[in-house]
Amino acid sequence: MAPLLLLLLLIPVQLLLAVADAVPDSCAKATCAGHDIHYPFWLNSSTPNCVYPAGISIGLICQDNSTLILPIKTHRYIVLSIDYKTHTVLVSDADIADEYAAGGCPRLHMNLTIDTAWLWLAPSSSNITFLYSCKKNITLSSAVELSGCQQQQDGNNRSYVLPDGGITGAEAYEFQCEEVVVAQVLDAHKKAIVGAPGTPPPGNGSFREVLQGGFELNYDTHNHQCDRCEGSGGWCGYQRDDTHAGGRMRFTCYCDGGPTTDRCGTGLKGEKAIIAGVVSGTLLVILIFFLACKYGWLPLKSKGEPSIESFLRKNGNLHPKRYTYTDVKRMTKSFATKLGQGGFGAVYRGNLYDGRQVAVKMLKDTKGDGEEFMNEVSSISRTSHVNVVTLLGFCLQGSKRALIYEYMPNGSLERYAFNSNMNSENSLSWEKLFDIAIGTARGLEYLHRGCNTRIVHFDIKPHNILLDQDFCPKISDFGLAKLCLNKESAISIAGARGTIGYIAPEVYSKQFGLVSSKSDVYSYGMMVLEMVGARDKNNTSASVESSSQYFPQWLYEHLDEYCISASEINGETTELVRKMIVVGLWCIQVIPTDRPTMTRVVEMLEGGTSNLELPPKVLLS
């Protein structure tokens, strides 16, 4: 108790020393690349005491003192100008400046996602849609084909741009494009290059110039304290108050006569007033501390919270928006609508401030260092693909942990895939099941080789495949995922992970081989075969289950018979069922090296059946 009391008595001394440094020029306006930087923006090179609280400000990055960067989620935008009078920021996508020379492919990698309530697209901005590596030709009248965008292994595919920005998710899915990016530009710039009907279409260089011209964002933080301060001739700032847990941000208005807590020209000013406040506040803290010790008011933090906080600080540029528990209760209306329940906890429907529907996954109180929570935040934040669910935010407050996803109105694949009644509203056609199988395969291929850091999911199953309004599949639940280096093949894991029935043999026994992305391939194959078996309305699989024979083994021996029975002698449907079964059997080979990659899986599903051979008859029963 004596050392703790001494520490508390030293607090006033530390704060008074901080006050001595809090002169008006300590948080003065900064400059970078010719731009004046002040509220609501601040430079990442600012002193720790002179930044603004999250939620009402944004940090800018000064790169080599020649380029000002605005980070939005995990992407970078170059700041071209800031107009503080009209609250307007002109920015351009950094991908254009970084990677592609004049005349080359205008290649973008990320859709704009704004997750703050005070920053939004200005009315002067307009959309242009880029579609890259499309397997089918786009016949829309407004589509302009781009040149030089093919990848080395993708030479036959084509890339397009839609200047009018209009395409539905179903259309993009139909054209089988590898990536769809909606870019923002100034509407006036776009109209300047899109000529009258009959004129030649614009080339790559024109679109690149329009993208370099940027687009405008408006902002309004609704911070009346800063408005009053700057209106009185001062400038707004915040100082970190380290006497509070987590370093609470304390508002300060910097004036010529010294800093104040309101606005220039009113209230107590100068160091005397600050010193008096510091001493009074410290005495109050000491009193509260002793009362808390006496009556047991001190809350206990979970053991895992410090390590999670440390992880989030180190990866601050990766994770999405952080919400408070109060925010979560507000967006779910105090958890009024429950969507589902699992071993991890419950999922509730909610709405963000901009009206978007979300699914809020409330995690149960957990012990340990919160590995699953950190896995999910770090893994999914690195992804951007039409077949991977989008993580919009998270909550970490004491023992309260929540993950906030885009809302999937059709729930999970588990709800539809295993319903053999064709007349049921929860039944899907063979064609729709096949599309879901291909979409899931494309999402897994992206995770294994397409995103910045390779990701192995380790829990592929119908429950974790979500369906949007068009039944487009999206891989979810990255709690067991593992991040890998790009050239890394084998993965080290501590103990088996996954769901019984979908776990690859090598995950629970090293005698089968090394754990790698092929473990996801096995889980995918089991899921596809389960979709095929459960969908058979003639209940062929039910008769197999009543016997002692392993269903995949039975499928191997009765492939033609089953395909005809399941498809009711429909030629096209028979082809789809055959492809799903053969691909599934390849994927569940016992030895990992005998399984195809997800790239090969996609090729087999998209190709014909004439050259699709059955795998060796080596299955794990």
DSSP letters along 187-217, please?
A: HHHHHHHS--TTSPPP-HHHHHHHHHT-EEE
Q: Distance (Å, rounded) from C-alpha 478 to C-alpha 373? A: 9
- Give phi and psi for 221, each to the nearest 5: -85, -10
The residue ranges of DSSP E strands in 114-272, in sequence order, are: 119-121, 125-134, 144-146, 158-162, 177-186, 215-219, 235-241, 248-255, 258-260
Residue pair 115/54 in contact (Cβ under 8 Å)? The answer is no
Within 10 angstroms of residue 569's Cβ, the number of other Cβ atoms is 9
Catalytic residue among 93, 327, 459, 477: 459
DSSP for residue 449: I
Residue pair 135/176 in contact (Cβ under 8 Å)? The answer is yes
Of the candidates 170, 154, 137, the residue with the CA atom closest to the CA atom of residue 599: 154
Residue 305, burial from CB neighbour count under 10 angstroms (0-12, 13-18, 19+): middle
- Give phi and psi for 501, each to the nearest 5: 100, -20
Q: Distance (Å, rounded) from C-alpha 83 to C-alpha 76? A: 20
Q: Is the dihedral of CA 307, 310, 315, 318 positive or negative?
A: positive
Q: Look-up: residue for tokens 């919400």?
A: 323
Residue pair 146/161 in contact (Cβ under 8 Å)? The answer is yes
Q: Distance (Å, rounded) from C-alpha 324 to C-alpha 332? A: 13
Of the candidates 123, 80, 79, 131, the residue with the CA atom closest to the CA atom of residue 107: 131
Give, in order, the Cα–Cα distances in Å from 60 to each of 40, 80, 88, 531. Answer: 10, 13, 15, 49
**Which residues, including other chains, have CB under 8 Å from residue 398's CB and lie 6 or more apart?**
299, 301, 302, 305, 325
Within 10 angstroms of residue 114's Cβ, the number of other Cβ atoms is 14
Is 459 annotated as catalytic? yes
The residue ranges of DSSP E strands in 6-162, in sequence order, are: 30-32, 35-37, 41-43, 58-63, 67-72, 75-83, 88-93, 119-121, 125-134, 144-146, 158-162
Residue pair 129/180 in contact (Cβ under 8 Å)? The answer is yes
Amino acid present at 542 = A
Q: Distance (Å, rounded) from C-alpha 150 to C-alpha 133? A: 7
- Give phi and psi for 600, each to the nearest 5: -65, -35
Overall residue count recorded for the chain in this entry: 621
361 in a labelled binding site: yes
Bridge partner list, 393: 321, 404
Which residues belong to the active site? Answer: 459
**Which residues participate in the annotated binding site?**
361
**Which residues participate in the annotated binding site for ATP?**
361
